[in-house]
Each structure stands twice: as structure tokens, then as C-alpha cells.
Amino acid sequence: MRFLVLPFVLSVLFTFVVLRLFGGHVLWINHSSRNDPQALHVHPVPRLGSIGIALALGFGVLQILWTAPQLSGPQLQLLGAALAAAAIGLTEDLTGSVSVRLRLVWVTIAALMASLIDGVRVQHTDLAWLDWVLANSPITSLLLTAFIITGLTNAFNIIDGLNGLASACAMIILAAIGYVAFLVGDLWVAAFCAVSLGAVAGFFIWNYPGGFIFLGDGGAYLCGFVVCTLGLLLLSRNPGQVSPMFPMLLCIYPVAETCFSVYRRGLKNKPVSRPDRGHLHSLLFRRLDSRLGRRLGNTERRRNSVTTPYLWALCLGSVVPAVFMYDNFWALVASIFAFVIVYLLLYRSIVRFRAPKWL
């Protein structure tokens, strides 16, 4: 708990300073005039949430190193790789001119940097044939790790479409990783999770429900990168105690959203990198928009924020069973398949205007 409070307070304060200094600058806001097809807002909003999170995260890591030297480890290396990934996203947030390909290459390089950190590398999967390959081919292990980190980093950017969605999912997953780390006695990972959770929670105060500031690409990359690397560290540091499917089930919502987006755009012969309004959160917002509009009036921010908890529940639907079954490989695999089926059925029902009555 002590490692959570300082990053939270600092993140609240740093994000407030960012809002006061840059919130009104026309170059650094997300506005409806940009005509982003996936945008669900109409008011100008700064996309600089990564700044407050990054600064708070940095001070939190220094707090661990200063007050708990027994927990010393590759915190600074992990922080450096995460900030490197966030840097290209922040550049896009500031300029709006960084291509998707360049961002992907940059994040991949940061992921390769993280893969070289002791303990981050994927080394066991509980699948005998794949474990043999990873044990006998270090380059395969390195590339697989970089692919996983890059994919999940971008997955968090894809689900960042409603107030409090990506940041809350990151907090939920970080809390789960930290809790399981505590259960298995891995205080290093638990402490880093607490610092990360506090830093994201401080931003969340300003992002939900008011939507005064957005994560931006930089913030989404930072959240996804930290979540993924901490999940991999928990696995490698605790072999036999935590199943490799545990972090997979934790992150199955952003992973499923990303995979289905690639599949959907492929069917329509559209570039995979082209944004659209076919994400589950976009469809759910439009499904609820008319009904919420009658009840809440024409306050777009309120309708946006009321939609978000439905996706929190979806995320919790994978995180809760993962925490209870963190060491059971086949139960986790079954839960992953169950989640994917639920996701596809929910998506299909909304598209065909046959959504459940609770929607």
C-alpha cells in the first residue's frame, strides 16, 4: 500500500498541472474537427495523459529503490523500456504526424529492449514442444517475447475509446497481477504493480467520468507495455506457481478486440492500421446512445461515461476467474475460450440489433 499512495498523489497533481498548462492549446487536443472515425466525443480534450503517469511512475520507482533496497532489481531498465515505448505515442499526441508503421517499429524496438531484461523473456508455456523450442532457440524466445509485448501494447491503444476504459482495465489487471504476486511471495512484482496502479489511478481521477484529459497514444502504450512486462516477469520469476495462461486470461479483452479488429478489416479488404468505428466499445456506445440520450439529455460526456462500466464488467469477467485459477493451466484455457465465445456472441447481438434487454 505504501508504494501506491505516493504515485497516486503525484499523478493527480502532475495531471492537473498538465491540464492547466496545456489543456487549452489547440495543437495538443483531440477535437471533433480531426474527423477520427473512432472518436466518440465532440469536445476538445488534451491527449497528454501519459505525462502525469510517466512522471508519477518514475518517482514511484525511485521510492522503491530508496526505501526498500531489498527489492532492488531491474526497475530502472523496465521503466526505461516502458518510457521509450510511450515516447513515440506522446510524439504522435503532440504532432499528429507519426505514421502507424513508424510507431509499430518503435514499440517493437522498445519491446526487444525489454526482452533483454533479466526475467522478462518467455521461457516456459506449459506446452512441452514449445518449451523445447524456446529452451533450444534463444532467438525464438526473444522474438516471441517482443511480439507479445508489442501486440499487447497496441491492444491497449485499440480499446482506448471511452472515458476510463483503457485506464480502468489497466488498473484491474495490475491489481490482479499484484495480488497474485503477493500470494506467491513475489514482493518485487507486487511493489511495481502498486506503483503502476497508483500512477494510472491518479490519471483516472481526471479522465473519468468527466473526460477532461485522454491517455493518448503515449498513455495507452505505457499502460499496455507495463501490464505485459509485469505479467511476463511474474511468470518467469515464479515457474510452477503461476500458469502461463494467467496473464493471457487477464488481458483477453484487449487481445480479443485487437484480433477481431484485424480479422474484421481483413474481410473488408481495408488496411489493418486504418481506424474505424467497428470496435465493441464503439458499437455499445451507439447502442446505448439513444436510450441514454433520452434519460441523461444531450450531455455527451455523461453518456460516454455511463457506457464504460459495461466494458469494465466484461474485463472483470476474465480477471476474476483468472485470479481464482492462476495456477490451473487447463481451467484458464477453458476460460479463455469461454470469454472469446461470449465476446463474439455479444458483438453479433449488437450488430444484428438483438442485444440483451440489459443493454
pLDDT value at 129 more than 70? yes
pLDDT digits (tens, 9 = 90+) for 260-298: 988 887 777 777 667 667 788 888 887 776 555 555 555
- Identify the pLDDT of residue 186: 95
**Region 159-188 average pLDDT:** 96
Mean pLDDT along residues 99-112: 95
| Least confident segment among 69-73, 153-157, 169-173 | 69-73
Strand-strand pairing, 29-30 and 45-46: antiparallel
The pLDDT of residue 39 is 54
| pLDDT for res 357 | 63
User: Higher model confidence: residue 208 or residue 38?
Assistant: 208
Residues 56, 10: contact at Cβ < 8 Å? yes
**356 pLDDT tier (thresholds 50, 70, 90):** low
DSSP 242: S
65 grid coordinates: 529503490
How many helices (H) and strands (E) in the chain? Answer: 14, 2
> What integer is the mean pLDDT of 145-155?
96
pLDDT of residue 267: 72
pLDDT on residue 77: 95
Single-letter residue type at 244:
P
Res 31: pLDDT: 45
How many other β-carbons are positioned within 10 Å of the β-carbon of residue 328?
16
- Spatial CA neighbour of 88 closest among 79, 75, 101: 101
State which of 23-27, 51-55, 236-240, 352-356 shows the largest mean pLDDT.
51-55
Q: What pLDDT is stored for residue 126 in this prediction?
A: 87
Give yes or no for residue 206 having a pLDDT over 60: yes
